[in-house]
Structure 1
Amino acid sequence: MRSNNPVFNRSAEFNGTATQNAYGNTTYPGAGGAQPGYGTPQQPYSDPSTWSTGGPAAPVATDRMTIDSVVQKTAMTLGLVILGAAITWYYIGDISYGTGLADQAAIGKLSAAIMLGSGGAFILSLVNSFKRVVSPGLVLAFAAAEGVALGALSKAFEAWYGGGIVMTAMLGTFGALAGTLATYRFFDIKVGGKFRTFVIAGMFGMVGLSLLSFVLSMFGIDTGLFGTGGLGLVTAIIGLTLGVFMLILDFDFVENGIAAGLPERESWRAAFALTVSLVWIYTNLLRILAILRGD
């Protein structure tokens, strides 16, 4: 089943386009050779120490993607996001002096961190989404850049709205993860092609609107789409809903990938997708909480 998700559609394994030849070897479209698979004939000459004496055959290491490998890789990426956010948070320091006056040096650090972190994370997210062979280094680099951006963004929201808004958004994000996973498992949700198309189209639509709004703001035009008014609340709720739907797509691909016996390296692709979805949910929760609290 082919995916509309750009994170997964670069993988032949996820899309089921890998085939097997007459010997059971796994082959991929566009590649001239075959990858070793089950049933591969032994070479006529081999190391005598590996010859069998009639006893049980030694287990074959498959290095397949498992729930454990996905959880481990996701924990690494999320841990790096949190670490990067914490370092950035303390690097920026206090934004105000305590007298209501802004610390211009801290504001400068905050602005630079948001611009560099979000810009780097955006570029790396595109590279990781359209890269055919997943790269653990690039996934971790994305997590580090995202951590810098989130650390600065969280610092700004905490300074402007206070009241533990960052901790509330973090708890809400992990609550959404647990609730979505429980719903997916207990209700045995089946993901269809129309649902995938709707979610991916909505995701790209929101990204496009945010970029358009950013460009227009540079010319003094405020669309209000991502502001603190009623329209901003609507887009934040839509964004949060899309984030939950993105998690469902992630769970579906992980489940199907494990069932298909994908290589262990694909755990990094799944970890990247899950991290993107959780960051998406977190930022929209921050916006919703900020709008509800008002100024």
Structure 2
Amino acid sequence: MRTHNPVFNRSAAFSPQAGYQSGYAPQYQGQGFDPYAAPRPVERMTMDDVVTKTALTLGLVVLAAAAAWFLVPPALSGVAWIGSAIVALVVSFMVVGRRGVRPGMVVAYAAFEGVFVGVFSRFLNQMFPGIVVQAVMATFVVAAMVLVSYKVFNLNRQANKIARGVFIATAGLAVVYLINFVLSLFGVHTGIIGYGPQAGGLAFIVTAVAIVLATLNLLVDFAAIEDGVRNGAPAEQSWVAAFGITVSMVWLYTELLRLLSYFRQS
């Protein structure tokens, strides 16, 4: 069964039945093709590669967020917020849509996503002091619990079984968010997204669903990465794995930040 996460779906190496175990790159007929030449060895992705690349991308998100927090003038917060979100979304589509791995695009995504996170975090922290620290701690606690549960209960097979449903639900919620964003540009407020105790019940439900989906996406990400390492995926795929984890972690953080704001007093 192949993962239905679009981030990992571009490479067959993240499939539980992928055939990369030989550790050699396939040869194709064409100019310079030698049918008697030995297969060209390729470097395999390792868990250390994934951890290193993930630490790099998440670290870049944090650095860009800190820079945006301190350097973006309050008068330009709205422009930086919307602009960075749009650019990060476009770059993420480019990363997912390309067959080849482009580390520069993953780095660019992390930088622009960091600007969005920084401006968004400053906005809510000004309304509710200390909420950002709580959201950061909650994010890493949830991620750690998912990873520990995955390892302790050996959830690889279960994660692969729910991958399709998680992808469909995530895509549906993304469409809802996109429609809400477009409507908000024209002054239409649906109540789907809110901040603070004044947010309605609909916003609370949507945020709760989003947190569940972000958590399940992390679970599916872990399974896909483990399958990729087991199947001997090319080393460059560690950038794809790092991108997938970063997307899920940032999404989880923003939703937890929003959820915490519902229980704070202005």
TM-score after normalising by structure 2: 0.89
Q: Residues 19 and 69 of structure 1: is their aligned pair in 2 closer, same or farther, counting only changes over 3 Å? A: closer
Once the two structures are TM-superposed, the CA of residue 174 in structure 1 deviates from its matched residue by 0.8
Aligned mates of 2:146, 2:165 — CA distance in 1 = 18
Aligned mates of 1:12, 1:254 — CA distance in 2 = 12
Once the two structures are TM-superposed, the CA of residue 178 in structure 1 deviates from its matched residue by 0.7
Once the two structures are TM-superposed, the CA of residue 27 in structure 1 deviates from its matched residue by 3.1
Once the two structures are TM-superposed, the CA of residue 63 in structure 1 deviates from its matched residue by 2.1
Aligned-residue CA RMSD (Å): 2.6
- Per-residue CA shift, 1:53-110, capped at 9, x if unaligned? xxxxxxx975211111100000000010000000110113xxxxxxxxxxxxx43221
Match of 2:248 in 1: 277
Higher relative contact order (CA 8 A, sep 6+): 2
Give the length in aligned residue pairs: 257
SS of match in other structure, 2:262: helix
1:72 is aligned, of 11, 30, 52, to 52
Q: Residues 135 and 294 of structure 1: is their aligned pair in 2 closer, same or farther, counting only changes over 3 Å? A: same
Q: Residues 19 and 167 of structure 1: is their aligned pair in 2 closer, same or farther, counting only changes over 3 Å? A: closer
Once the two structures are TM-superposed, the CA of residue 24 in structure 1 deviates from its matched residue by 9.3
Match of 2:12 in 1: 12
Confirm or deny: 8 A CA contact 2:23 2:41 kept in the other structure. no
Once the two structures are TM-superposed, the CA of residue 32 in structure 1 deviates from its matched residue by 4.2
2:207 is aligned, of 236, 239, 242, to 236
* Within-5 A mapping of 1:202-241: 202-227=169-194, 228-241=199-212
SS of match in other structure, 2:113: helix
Q: Residues 132 and 155 of structure 1: is their aligned pair in 2 closer, same or farther, counting only changes over 3 Å? A: same
For structure 1, the 5+ residue unaligned runs are 44-59, 93-105
Once the two structures are TM-superposed, the CA of residue 217 in structure 1 deviates from its matched residue by 1.9
Confirm or deny: 8 A CA contact 2:45 2:232 kept in the other structure. yes
SS of match in other structure, 1:191: helix
Match of 1:85 in 2: 65
TM-score after normalising by structure 1: 0.80
Confirm or deny: 8 A CA contact 1:11 1:133 kept in the other structure. no
Match of 1:47 in 2: none
Aligned mates of 2:206, 2:142 — CA distance in 1 = 18
For structure 2, the 5+ residue unaligned runs are none
1:139 is aligned, of 87, 106, 115, to 106
Aligned mates of 1:170, 1:177 — CA distance in 2 = 11
* Within-5 A mapping of 1:234-273: 234-273=205-244
Is 1:2–2:2 an aligned residue pair?
Answer: yes
Confirm or deny: 8 A CA contact 1:229 1:291 kept in the other structure. no
Amino acid at match of 2:175: G
Amino acid at match of 1:27: P
Once the two structures are TM-superposed, the CA of residue 221 in structure 1 deviates from its matched residue by 2.1
Aligned mates of 1:24, 1:166 — CA distance in 2 = 44
SS of match in other structure, 1:221: coil
